[in-house]
Amino acid sequence: MLDAEDVRRIALSLPDTTEKIAWSMPTFRVAGKMFATLPEDETSIAVRCPKEERDELALAEPGKFWIADHEASFAWVRVRLAALEDTGELRDILADSWRQAAPPRLLESYPELGLPAAD
């Protein structure tokens, strides 16, 4: 089962990422901008997610994704660590959130993590 140390290891492996305690919980930031948190008892994470996609995820997989009441007006979604299949899925989720917070210079410097190419 995935845990807080898996989140920490993967998040900190992403370029220019730092960990900072805020609101009494670990938060992960790229170039100073938050992209993930480890709230409550560290059994879930909160990550950036466009509202339209977030709502679809929560409806499609409610055992894995949900929207915390206090985050409903923000583009964040919660993810239950126990519901994830493996570290690859966790890395994909964290990398996607990282991309949403990373400045263009990082996206350009790390094309393997950058935005998908336009068709």
Q: Which domain range does residue 22 map to?
A: 4-103
Domain assignment of residue 115, yes or no = no
Domain harbouring 33, CATH code: 3.90.1150.30
Domain assignment of residue 56, yes or no = yes
Domain assignment of residue 118, yes or no = no
Domain assignment of residue 114, yes or no = no
Helix (H, G, I), strand (E, B) or coil at 42: coil
Which whole number is the average pLDDT over 65-86? Answer: 95
Domain assignment of residue 31, yes or no = yes
What's the pTM value of the predicted model, to 2 decimals?
Answer: 0.92
Domain assignment of residue 109, yes or no = no
| Separation in Å, CA 29 to CA 17, 23, 56, 90, 119 | 5, 14, 25, 16, 30
Domain assignment of residue 117, yes or no = no
What are the structure tokens assigned to 17, written together? Answer: 């990422």
For residue range 45-67, what is the model confidence (pLDDT) as tens digits? 999 999 999 999 999 999 999 99
Under a CB-based contact definition with an 8 Å cutoff, are residues 14 and 98 in contact?
yes
For residue range 4-49, what is the model confidence (pLDDT) as tens digits? 999 999 999 999 999 999 999 999 999 999 999 999 889 999 999 9
Domain assignment of residue 74, yes or no = yes
Question: How many domains does the chain contain in total?
Answer: 1
